[in-house]
Amino acid sequence: MMKSLIERIRVALDGGDPDKRESLMEYIWSEYGHRVSYYISTIVSRDTAHFDDIFQDAMIRIFENIGSYDPAYSFNTWIYSIARNLCFDYLKRPQNAAEGMLMDDFPDPGSGPQEAALRDEVMHRIDASIRGLSAGDREIAYLRFFENLRYREISALTGVKLNTVKAKLRLIKDRLRAGLGDIYY
């Protein structure tokens, strides 16, 4: 998939064909838009009046700066860096500083009543454990567990030392296990 994306970027930028560039933008929007949106929601609450603005700004910056993407590095890390910087720029404003990273509710895929009750209990406990984490730890947990980024990518994106990322993830996993209690075993 990464080679396909890199090839799409190269083709869209070579020759300046607006149709190819538009096709690339549609592809990025459909493949990465929901990821960027969810990532932003781990930093800035979806309830924030400016959430949509931050998301749209992130997607626009991705499109505007696609030519600066270096395929030697992870595309996910690149797009999350853009989104992260916009979120922190927003949170640096004094009137927004009280907002913090909030984890949205988990989606309900639907199933039978017993499975739904167990899933709801598990999700409630996981959500409570994650909400109990510091803002930085929630970000690390999201990047590892939801985006499946490697430790080095998380370290590069967040600026946290690699060994610290490893240690934090170990503690986060322990906390999640403890939060699940009897359900986990």
- CATH number (domain holding residue 31): 1.10.1740.10
Q: What is the pLDDT of residues 173-184, one digit of tens each?
A: 888 888 777 765
> Which domain does 64 fall in, by range?
2-96
Do residues 121 and 77 share a domain? no
Do residues 127 and 172 share a domain? yes
106 lies in some domain: no
Of residues 115 and 104, more confidently modeled: 115
| Cα–Cα distance list, 112 to 79, 118, 119, 127, 147 (Å) | 37, 10, 10, 21, 28
Mean per-residue pLDDT, 54-61: 91
Model pTM score: 0.57
Q: Is the pLDDT of residue 104 over 50?
A: no
Q: What is the pLDDT of residues 13-41, one digit of tens each?
A: 777 677 888 888 888 889 899 989 988 88
Least confident of 4-13, 40-49, 69-78, 176-185: 176-185
Do residues 24 and 71 share a domain? yes
